[in-house]
Chain A
Amino acid sequence: MTTNFVIEGLKATIEGKEILKGINLEMKGGEIHAIMGPNGTGKSTLASALMGHPKYEVTDGTVTLDGEDVLDMAVDERARAGLFLAMQYPSEIAGVTNSDFLRSAINARRGEGNEISLIKFIRQMEGKMKELDMNPEFAHRYLNEGFSGGEKKRNEILQMMLLDPKIVVLDEIDSGLDIDALKIVAEGVNAMKSEDRGFLIITHYQRLLNYITPDYVHVMMQGRIVKSGGPELAQRLEAEGYDWVKAELGITDETVGQEA
């Protein structure tokens, strides 16, 4: 059965302020969706709410992954069900090595009694690190501690590759990346394309989409998806900006409080 991810009427608040005002989106395995929009329109809130960040409260709507109620799951259960969020600001955790963390995460996904062997794990990790052009010493460094912005983003992609999720949400994965790193990250994503896997790419620049071609492009404003189209929509946004969308829809202020 191919992956099916459905968001319906999703509303979420932070500290009582409504940021998501009813998001509808359906994704299938093999599809790449891009969510674009200026800063402050609720894009990152959508990513965080899908993963279950404790700061956000979902007040209405449903999210299902292959028919399972995602919103009813704890954060770790969502991950084990196949949801992956590459974060805009990954945490730094001193004292926990990257490889210990990755192995714990893989084993959590595989379940007790089915742990990955150390040799196999190391082989996988080293192979993927090479694909991402990461220095092997990063395996032994503490998780994200002292990593540059670009190194953190690559480390997110490394996790995505090793965890083999069904639905991947990339939250501003392109921010802080130079063009070479951007290409490497895009190659990593493209290499992970599969019939069973859907991608939701959140960005406010079109440049990432030069390297990853989306099947669908959605524009977010005021906490809603206000326009959807194919890849040509992203190109028009790159060329003309967002003003024409606002004019077309009669929007003067596209933001919805804070971008978080």
Chain B
Amino acid sequence: MTTQTILPVESEALRALSESNNEPGWLTEQRLEALKLASELALPKLEKQKIERWSISEYGTYKADAAISSLEEVPSSIKELVQDQAEGSLVIQRNSGAVYSKLSTDLAAQGVIFTDLATAVREHADLVKPYLNTAVKADEHSIAALHAALWNGGVFLYVPKNVNIEVPLQAVLLTDDASATFAPHVLVVAEANSSVTYVDNYVSGELSAPVFHNGVVEVFVKSGAKVRFATVHQLNVNVTDVSFRRAVLENDSSIEWIVGEMNNGDTASNTMSVLKGNGSTSDSKVIAVGSGSQKINYTTEARHFGKNTPSQMITRAVMREEASAIINGITKIEKGATRADGQQTEKVLMLSPKARGDANPILLIDEDDVTAGHAASVGQVNAEQIHYLMSRGINRTDAERLIIYGFLAPVVADIPLEALRTQLQSLIEKKLGQ
């Protein structure tokens, strides 16, 4: 297939970079192979939107920022996010590499690994190599290939068998230099019967030029393990964000995705659970607010291979100004996945006549003995509801605000982490311009 993919880097330069970062030979080869694929593959297809028109070529070059020794030194753009984290487990990436990484001694003693992925490939290759780029594969499309070629910094979280972690582990991924490549890769491996909660924030500082974030998340949930993965993207209008998140679930394991899409720039994200094992479960919640002239494409996806596999997907999005969103839910039940149950809901609330929303529930079912359901709605703020609230003395602005929060509230209220819930509330307020 011929495409016009212009590679952001020459293979010799990529090899030299990999070597100068002391990466293992297998990884250097993997990167070079992916770069070659990138030149051959097409872009991913977005439903009803043309990603080729987005700013997706601003990769910049690899730039390592100086490490910081204490949280006092973090840039002001992320200060608030990390202020209470001095004692907790935290990884911070700034531009192309990690600048801070800390794991509580207690967790380290239990064999937990929590560090940036660039360090992990050197120190824990045996645990990284079997998983890296196996859930989101380089040969899927040119963006995935370029990610595999260029990923940097990132997060590696490894939870050994039977280890249950109560306190959330956190990461902050910051882009504040427009000339630097920002392509973090988050890899989570939860061994059998372990449990963990991970929360990250994608943040941008002041940027003088466009930045393309090409990010991948891979989560491997082994038998009986439970992973709760929460991610909040709050990148500014200069950043185009394309993120592929994927979890692979073994027998009786579970994943809970909580995604806060609060970017100000064009965004395409795909959050997928592959329910491989029997009895595995997936639950995803996506809360989104679009504003300005953002182009947005959110997909949640559940692929059922195992028997007795329930999946639940909920997306609620508010679109204001001229934001335009395509929201897809895809439930795919493979032959043999008997007693699978796939449920999905996508709802879009539009606040202005220029906002656009499109919800597409898609059920693809190749097995008879299953249950599945979907609900989708796209609509404006209801004039009767506004009238009702105003008839009680509430002014129009407050009436609209009550209805908008009310629209998001049932999903926000369901978020099990209080700090995250509060943070999302304030981000929602900010994005709604209040």
Q: Is residue B54 contacting chain A, with contact meaning CB distance below 8 A?
A: no
Q: Is residue A184 contacting chain B, with contact meaning CB distance below 8 A?
A: no
- Contact status of A94 and B398, CB under 8 A, knowing A105-B392, A108-B392, A163-B393: no
Q: Which residues of A contact B406 (CB under 8 A)?
A: 93-96, 142
A53 CA to B394 CA in the complex, in Å? 15
A109 CA to B402 CA in the complex, in Å? 16
User: Closest Cβ of chain B: how far from A24's Cβ, in Å?
Assistant: 24
A126 CA to B431 CA in the complex, in Å? 35
B388 touches A91 (CB 8 A): yes
| Stretch from B89-97, B331-339, B378-386 at the A interface | B378-386
A78, A108, A159, A163: the one contacting B395 at CB < 8 Å is A108
> In chain B, residues 386-402, which have Cβ atoms closer than 8 Å to a Cβ of chain A?
387-396, 398-399, 402
B405 touches A93 (CB 8 A): no
B392 touches A93 (CB 8 A): no
User: Closest Cβ of chain A: how far from B50's Cβ, in Å?
Assistant: 34
Closest to A90 in B: B388
Q: Is residue B131 contacting chain A, with contact meaning CB distance below 8 A?
A: no
User: Closest Cβ of chain B: how far from A46's Cβ, in Å?
Assistant: 15
A159 touches B387 (CB 8 A): no
A95 touches B393 (CB 8 A): no
B409 touches A95 (CB 8 A): yes
A110 CA to B394 CA in the complex, in Å? 11
A74 touches B390 (CB 8 A): yes
Q: Is residue A100 contacting chain B, with contact meaning CB distance below 8 A?
A: yes
B392 touches A79 (CB 8 A): yes
User: Closest Cβ of chain B: how far from A86's Cβ, in Å?
Assistant: 10
A52, A85, A93: the one contacting B389 at CB < 8 Å is A93
B410 touches A75 (CB 8 A): no
Interface string of A131-156 (1 = CB under 8 A from B): 00000000000100000000000000
Q: Which residues of B contact A96 (CB under 8 A)?
A: 402-403, 405-406, 409
Interface size class for chain A? 20 to 34
Interface string of A15-44 (1 = CB under 8 A from B): 000000000000000000000000000000
Q: Is residue B230 contacting chain A, with contact meaning CB distance below 8 A?
A: no
> How many A-B contacts if CB must be within 8 Å?
75
Q: Is residue A104 contacting chain B, with contact meaning CB distance below 8 A?
A: yes
Q: Is residue B286 contacting chain A, with contact meaning CB distance below 8 A?
A: no
B392 touches A94 (CB 8 A): no
A188 CA to B393 CA in the complex, in Å? 21
B383, B390, B403, B409: the one contacting A76 at CB < 8 Å is B390
Q: Which residues of A contact B198 (CB under 8 A)?
A: none
B390 touches A79 (CB 8 A): yes
Interface string of A65-107 (1 = CB under 8 A from B): 0000000001110111000010100110111100011001100
B402 touches A91 (CB 8 A): no
Q: Which residues of A contact B388 (CB under 8 A)?
A: 87, 90-91, 93
Q: Is residue A51 contacting chain B, with contact meaning CB distance below 8 A?
A: yes
A53, A95, A100, A163: the one contacting B387 at CB < 8 Å is A53
User: Closest Cβ of chain B: how far from A99's Cβ, in Å?
Assistant: 12
Closest to A106 in B: B393
A93 CA to B391 CA in the complex, in Å? 14
B390 touches A75 (CB 8 A): yes
A104 touches B387 (CB 8 A): no
A94 CA to B407 CA in the complex, in Å? 7
User: Closest Cβ of chain B: how far from A85's Cβ, in Å?
Assistant: 6
B402 touches A100 (CB 8 A): yes
Closest to B383 in A: A54
Q: Which residues of A contact B408 (CB under 8 A)?
A: 95
A44 CA to B165 CA in the complex, in Å? 61
Q: Which residues of B contact A100 (CB under 8 A)?
A: 402
Q: Which residues of B contact A51 (CB under 8 A)?
A: 391
A75 CA to B406 CA in the complex, in Å? 21
Interface string of A103-136 (1 = CB under 8 A from B): 0110011000000000000000000000000000
A108 touches B409 (CB 8 A): no
- Contact status of A104 and B402, CB under 8 A, knowing A76-B396, A95-B409: yes
Q: Which residues of A contact B383 (CB under 8 A)?
A: 54
B residues adjacent to A (C-beta < 8 A): 382-385, 387-396, 398-399, 402-403, 405-410
User: Can you list 27 A-B contacts with CB-CB less than 8 angstroms, sorted by A residue number?
Assistant: A54-B383, A54-B387, A76-B394, A76-B399, A78-B391, A79-B393, A80-B393, A87-B388, A91-B382, A91-B385, A93-B385, A93-B388, A93-B402, A93-B406, A95-B405, A95-B407, A95-B409, A96-B402, A96-B403, A96-B405, A100-B402, A101-B389, A104-B389, A104-B394, A108-B392, A108-B394, A163-B393
Pairs A-B, 4 closest by C-beta atoms = A95-B406, A79-B393, A95-B409, A91-B388
Given A79-B393, A93-B406, A108-B393, 11 more A-B residue pairs with CB atoms under 8 Å apart are A76-B399, A79-B390, A79-B391, A91-B382, A91-B384, A91-B385, A95-B405, A95-B409, A95-B410, A104-B398, A105-B392
